[in-house]
Amino acid sequence: MSDGKLQVAIETLKKSGIRITPQRHAVLEYLLTSMSHPTADEIYKALEGKFPNMSVATVYNNLRILREIGLVRELTYGDDSSRFDSNMRDHYHIICDDCGKIVDFHYPTLDEIESLAEKVSGFEISHHRMELYGKCEECSNVSVQ
Amino acid sequence: MSDGKLQVAIETLKKSGIRITPQRHAVLEYLLTSMSHPTADEIYKALEGKFPNMSVATVYNNLRILREIGLVRELTYGDDSSRFDSNMRDHYHIICDDCGKIVDFHYPTLDEIESLAEKVSGFEISHHRMELYGKCEECSNVSVQ
DNA sequence: TAAACTATTAATAAGCATTATAATCTGATA
DNA sequence: TATCAGATTATAATGCTTATTAATAGTTTA
């Protein structure tokens, strides 16, 4: 992650007339520099040191704003918390059933599936999502021991 | 849906040593005859007439048991409630962004994607899921008017 | 620069789906 | 039919997220 992405993101915020508050900047920067896909609570805890008075609602508010403006994607899986992803390129996710780790998986978009789905269902398909589940290398090694 | 499926499912329960209580039978029957993908609460409300004293926890307990035994699949999407699907064949789902309707979409399983994901990520992939999103015919027609 | 306006934050309460607990009840077997 | 582990009911608790409201801090205008 280069600072360039952060600058571009800040420009997007400015163009939308959204203020760059310190808290908002920190949330955005954390998402852009994080290689993981953090939950709202993880972001909250990570920024606790810098902003001891920040409310958890502020994190949620800013995540919602960043999502609405298209800078962040919300990943909603099962029962757990939502996770947030600042990688806005089309991609899929591979998730470890054991430890919950999520890694990005780039693959050509499955356009032909969307076309077929439109034909058989009568829907106008706008997008799709896919997750692959399994066991990551670390967890595979642990279970072998 | 034929009664055959219900009989087969009940046999599976018996073999697993799980009691066939009236509530459990009703939840199972509702799932098998329902063409939709109901939430726990929808099932609860649908069976209210027959079982005025049934607890919502009973619905959740039974759904968990049916899931663990492989008779039902839990569909966990966004912020909303889980939905439950008694169609255990491999298939994908098409979801209407407007009204939330979910329809089944049968398509050859994307095995080659799983293979590639294993190669690039080092994961042992066990399965995957995909949802296609868009607007169903009814909702498309409404928005045209 | 000062006043007025508006977005944002913090603190807290509330909402909702789901799970845990504990007491009571009951289906299936002997 | 008596037994008892499993199931149900009622209720409390949990955890994530959103709503509310008052205070705060940028931004704009005069």
Structure tokens at A16: 């939308």
Instruction: Convert the pLDDT of each residue in A56-104 to its tens digit.
Output: 999 999 999 999 999 999 999 877 899 999 999 999 999 998 888 899 9
Instruction: Convert the pLDDT of each residue in B14-68 to its tens digit.
Output: 999 999 999 999 999 999 999 899 999 999 999 999 999 999 999 999 999 999 9
Structure tokens at B118: 């294993």
- In total, chain A counts a number of residues equal to 145
Give Cα A72 distance to the centre of its chain.
6
- Is there a contact between A137 and B122 if contact means CB atoms under 8 Å apart? yes
- CA A6 to C1' C11, in angstroms, rounded, equals 30
Residue B56 contacts strand C, CB under 7 A: yes
Residues contacting B24, CB < 8 A, separation 6+: B13, B18, B62, B65
User: How many Å apart are CA A57 and CA B119, to the nearest integer?
Assistant: 40
B132 burial class (0-12, 13-18, 19+ CB within 10 angstroms)?
buried
B20 within 8 A of B10, measured Cβ to Cβ: yes
Cα of A65 to nearest chain B Cα, Å: 17
Residue B62 contacts strand D, CB under 7 A: yes
pLDDT at A2: 54
